Amino acid sequence: MSAMIHPDEIQLRLARFPQLCRQARLKVTPQRSAVYAMLAATGSHPTPESIHLAVREELPNLSLATVYKILDQFAAHGLVHKIPNPNQAARYDARMDNHHHTVCGACGRIGDVLLEPLHRDLERLPALEGFQISRVDVVLRGLCAECAATDRRTAS
Partner DNA sequence: TTAGATGCAAATCTTTTGCAGTGCG
Partner DNA sequence: CGCACTGCAAAAGATTTGCATCTAA
Binding residues vs DNA (CB under 7 A)? 21, 25-32, 47-49, 59, 61-66, 68-70, 72-73, 84, 87-90
Query: Nearer Cβ to DNA, position 78 or 84?
Result: 84
Q: Between 10 and 139, whose beta carbon lies closer to its own copies?
A: 139
Which residue's CB is nearer to DNA, number 61 or number 154?
61
Backbone angles phi, psi at 111, to 5 degrees: -115, 170
Is residue 121 within 8 A of residue 78, CB to CB? The reply is no
- 140: contact with its own copies by CB under 8 A: yes
Helix (H) or strand (E) holding 113: strand 110-114
Burial class (CB in 10 A: 0-12, 13-18, 19+), 81: buried
Binding at 128: pick from DNA, its own copies, none (beta carbon under 5-8 Å per type): its own copies
> With b meaning 16 or more CB within 10 Å and e meaning fewer, what string describes 15-30?
eebeebbeeeebeeee
For residue 15, the partner it binds in its own copies, DNA, none, with Cβ less than 5 to 8 A by kind, is none
Contact flags string 12-41 toward its own copies, x per CB under 8 A = ------------------------------
